[in-house]
Structure 1
Amino acid sequence: MRPYVIASAAVSLDGYIDDVADARLLLSDDEDLDRVDEVRAWSDALLVGAGTIRADDPRLLVRSAERRAARVAAGRPASPAKVTLTRCGKVDPHARFFTAGDTARYVYTCDAQVARLQRTLTGATVVGAGDPLTVERLLHDLHERGIERLMVEGGGAVHTLFLAAGVVDELHVVYAPFFVGQPKAPRFVNAAAFPQGPGNRMTLGKSRQIGDLMFLQYFPRSS
């Protein structure tokens, strides 16, 4: 058993999720960010890779006061649990992932890194997910902890890992109408052994224009 997984990303028309500048590239507008916030409020946990924590320092909290209140009224924490994974164990204990909000935090890593991270990350639950780390073991452990709905927010290495493993139940992609064109910029997905062939063609669910953005919901058949 594992959680229901939604993978979510905003990308340029040529498939990039950021550029090489120091400042974060803004791909979404306020309306789309509110859509993302709605999915966050639905979720039991939000997952990003350690690279995203290092690059963007996200808070990973529900933004809307109304949605936070509705979660609390339903007996849930104001914001979902936070989850990250790291093979190398390079995580900043002072990042907002650990300091912002009052919710459970889980760090999944290779078995060899567990003892060191347990000493460093006193405000989080550190879990070994194999050597090497596997997404299947991570998802099984989250399910055992009561996480039934997981939102995966990136970055590219994490989206690649989850999509190649065939464990994504919904894929939400928002396309921004411009090109990045920088070979060293981070991409939505990297090269991997994805499920291939006509039998693995995704099914389009909803599609919606959001300003000059385009939102697409897909259901991967491998899930």
Structure 2
Amino acid sequence: MVQHRPHTTVVLAMSADGKIADFKRSPARFGSGADKAHLEKQIAASDAVLFGAGTLRAYGTTLTVSQPILLQHRIQGGKTTQPIHIVITQSANLSPEIYFFQQPIRRWLLTTTAGAHSWQEHEQTLLVAGETTTKECPAKFEQILVFETPTGKIDTLAALQHLASIHITRLAVLGGGELVASMLESDLIDELWLTVCPLILGGTTAPTPVEGKGFISKLAPRLQLLEVKTVEQEVFLHYRLQR
């Protein structure tokens, strides 16, 4: 069945032993400047980026497009300077103090009915507090998208179909592993860019690019290698999902 949804590309950096963070789930800042430039290029090529609440909590920010040539290409293509940044979370349990809410970007929230109510109540509290404090801009999402399955989980396919209906054609998925796993399980990933960085993190609890329950080998998603690039000590692997 054809899915009318954006073209999705997972973009992640990992250690040589396949970890996207250490066992403390610290922000993964082990990628080089070349890896950051590569990530920015993928973000600039997208209409929107999608990432989980865990990823946002770890970093506190999202990567914006800053390279002049990338900004120029977006403007020449009739796009805004920055793609839409979409946080996907069941609970919407996010701190309004993180720098993400001060970045000059369009922020959307993809959540459940309960998550939307929780965040809206949170924002009302911030607005009331703002009347008596010097806080200039309470945390705010431009849009709150609610797509829910009968079991109360986020209906990611329905959400992606909605994005396609409003002309979001390319979506970059920036983690974490639980989100990537759920999207792979639902056959919602088209391509992957994996940067292999020259370090070993180890740890049975350290997160990997794909978490979740896992796949048995006979039913595991199969990949086609499209491109391999080596920049100094890092290897950039570009895959397409086989269907």
Is contact 2:184–2:221 with CA below 8 Å preserved after alignment?
Answer: no
Match of 1:190 in 2: 211
The residue that corresponds to 1:109 in the other structure is 111
Question: Deviation per CA, 1:37-82, whole angstroms, max 9, x where unpaired?
Answer: 1111110001110111111112331121221133123321111110
- Deviation, structure 1 residue 151: 0.2
Q: CA–CA distance in 1 between the matches of 2:73 and 2:28?
A: 31
TM-score, normalised to structure 1, is: 0.89
Aligned to 1:126: 144
Choose which of 32, 49, 63 in structure 2 pairs with 1:46: 49
**In 2 relative to 1, CA 209–107 (structure 1 residues): closer, same or farther, beyond 3 Å?**
same
Question: 1 CA distance for matches of 2:25 and 2:18?
Answer: 19
Amino acid at match of 1:87: Q
Once the 2 structures are TM-superposed, how far is the Cα of residue 139 of structure 1 from its aligned partner? Answer: 0.8
Distance 2:141 2:101 in 1: 7
Cα deviation, residue 111, structure 1:
1.9
- Whose Rg is larger? 2
Map of 2:239 onto structure 1: 218
1: CA distance between counterparts of 2:141 and 2:111? 16
**Percent identity between the two aligned chains:** 26
- The alpha-carbon distance between structure 1 residues 165 and 194, as it changes in their structure 2 partners (threshold 3 A), is farther
1:78 paired with 2:81, answer yes
How far apart, in 2, do the equivalents of 1:60 and 1:32 lie? 12
Cα distance in structure 1, aligned partners of 2:55 and 2:11 = 14
- Counterpart in the other structure of 1:142: 163
CA distance, structure 1, for counterparts of residue 221 and residue 180 of structure 2: 17
**What is the rounded CA distance, in whole Å, between the counterparts of 2:163 and 2:185 in structure 1?**
19
Name the TM-score, length of structure 2 as normaliser: 0.83
CA contact (8 A) 1:11 1:17 kept: yes
Indicate conservation of the 8 Å contact 1:3/1:139, yes or no.
yes
- The farther-off stretch of 133-142 and 92-101 is 92-101
Q: 1:15/1:199 Cα in 2 relative to 1: closer, same or farther (>3 Å)?
A: closer
* Counterpart residue type for residue 80 of structure 1: P
User: Which amino acid in the other structure matches residue 146 of structure 2?
Assistant: G
Partners of 1:196 and 1:135 in 2: CA distance: 25
Equivalent residue, structure 2, for 1:57: 60
Q: Residues 117 and 126 of structure 1 are in contact (CA less than 8 Å); yes or no, is this contact kept in structure 2?
A: no
Deviates more, 1:89-98 or 1:42-51: 89-98
Deviation of the 1:21 alpha carbon: 5.1
Unaligned runs of 5+ in 2: 124-138
- 1:168 matched to 2:189? The reply is yes
* Number of equivalences: 221
In the alignment, does 2:112 pair up with 1:91? no
The 3-state SS of whatever aligns with 1:197 is helix
Deviation at 1:198, TM superposition (A): 7.4
Unaligned runs of 5+ in 1: none
**Cα distance between partner residues in 2 of 1:51 and 1:78:** 26
- Distance in 1 separating the partners of 2:53 and 2:157: 18
Q: Deviations over 1:89-116 (max 9, x none)?
A: 2122343333201x32211111222233
Deviations 1:136-183 (A, max 9, x none): 122112112221100001111111122222111111111112211122
